[in-house]
Amino acid sequence: MASFPEYEAHDATGLAALVRSGEVSPAELVEAAVERIAARNPALNAVVHPMYERARAQAVDPQLPDGPFRGVPFLLKDLKAEDAGEPSTGGSRLLRDFRATHDGALVERFKRAGLVICGRTNTPEFGIMGVTEPELYGPARNPWNPEHTPGGSSGGSGSAVAAGMVPAAHGGDGGGSIRIPASCCGLVGLKPTRGRVPLPPAYGSWNGFVVEHVLTRSVRDSAGMLDCIEGPAPGDAYTAPAPSEPFLASYARAPERLKIAVCTEALFGDDTHPDCRAAVEEAATLARELGHDVREARPSFDKAAMTRAYLCVVAAGTAAAIRVTAAQRGRRVRAREVEPKTWLMRTIGEALSAGEYVEQLDVIARDCARVASFFADYDLLLTPTLARPPLRVGALDSALAERVALQVFRAAPIKAVLFKVLDEMAREPMAPNPNTQLFNMTGQPAISLPLYWSADGLPIGTQWVGRSGEEGRLLSLARQLEDARPWAGRRPPEFRD
């Protein structure tokens, strides 16, 4: 018999309320989480580093912080979230033996909130891909259909929350890596405004594209967690405007009538699957029924130039991460020590000159201004989160193509083929996930909401994008949509009590 059978009937906020009232103890909640991870993880490969004994000890520690989420089980993504004494492999063989020497600022805030960390979750190598299939740990799988991906790069976190192992888990988003798994797994995934929460290490921030937060089942959990972690850490290169009120207060307030632009076209791609288009059309109809002004419109920007600029920044960031790792190890990194796609991105990043990199940053700055001007006329933009339903595991396994590209690099002057390879990468690996990257580049907040399921029973997310600094407005609308079209009762049938 389960230690706390009602565990999955509550979100993180609800579990914390039970702890405060004395109806359940943190130890009981941790045992409930451990039971579910042990039972469900073998089929999903979501948790790659269990931390059961430490979690049990913390749950009974009188010094467990008395924060808003005291005693609630939680998982950290195995990428950049430094937790003293624990691994942070980034899904890479290169970092298999790495142990953090201290808690990062974000992890400190999670712990201060009272969360009990029960393990670390699967992620693609260095968080590069929109699916979670690292060679080090193997693929994570989607609880709605284990033949399909939970997305990436926070795919292990998305899978664990959707399967009911924990009510919330950490994620990071440098090009959609919170919103993509939220869409694939039927969850709430908010990417906050750039600078809203502590930044990852500089070499892992992709020029400020990466913003960290959580994946949750409820909107109020997303709002409450943001209240616990918001505010920059000392030395952060970016800061967001201070919120005018707690995010939970914004969540609780009904939104005013909003002017919402809707776009079903792929922002960085060429086409949108009918299921993803239908999800947006239904969401737009719901927003109109709720009294909002919904019109077809999209921001203007140079798609080809911005896609290339995004990939250049990611390639340079990958090269920097490998350089930092080489310095830590005291020797250079060899191609065979990382996955082909990682080495390809590293090779592109090393080939870029400083002038070419700055030129790409100028492209981004120009079109970010154009996108900002669009949001002077609209409060929000609605798009599909993804252009495809969740892919089958292995659908983006293009190791052969990556090896061919590396051979081309070795056989030809690298500058002659650099941008050709980047453009080809934009056509294949980015095609399923073309709608999220733009808002990492602009720094705007965006949230994926699970308002639609396909006829095959797979979740299809809708993305809602706001002006910089206006997470409160997104959360207010998200709560209204959640009330109108509740999703809490929709759970993967194979992974629930």
Q: From the candidates 154, 157, 159, 177, which is the catalytic residue?
A: 177
Residue pair 285/351 in contact by the 8 Å Cβ criterion: no
Residue 218 a catalytic site member: no
User: How many whole angstroms separate alpha carbon 55 and alpha carbon 181?
Assistant: 25
Q: From the candidates 80, 92, 111, 153, which is the catalytic residue?
A: 153
Residue 468 a catalytic site member: no
Q: From the candidates 77, 80, 303, 341, which is the catalytic residue?
A: 77
User: How many whole angstroms separate alpha carbon 216 and alpha carbon 74?
Assistant: 11
Residue pair 51/30 in contact by the 8 Å Cβ criterion: no
Residue 88 a catalytic site member: no
Contacts of 393 (CB under 8 A, 6+ apart): 131, 133, 139, 141, 146, 147, 148, 149
- The end-to-end CA distance of the chain, in Å, is 11
Count Cα atoms within 13 angstroms, Cβ side, for 299. 31
The set of catalytic residues is: 77, 153, 177
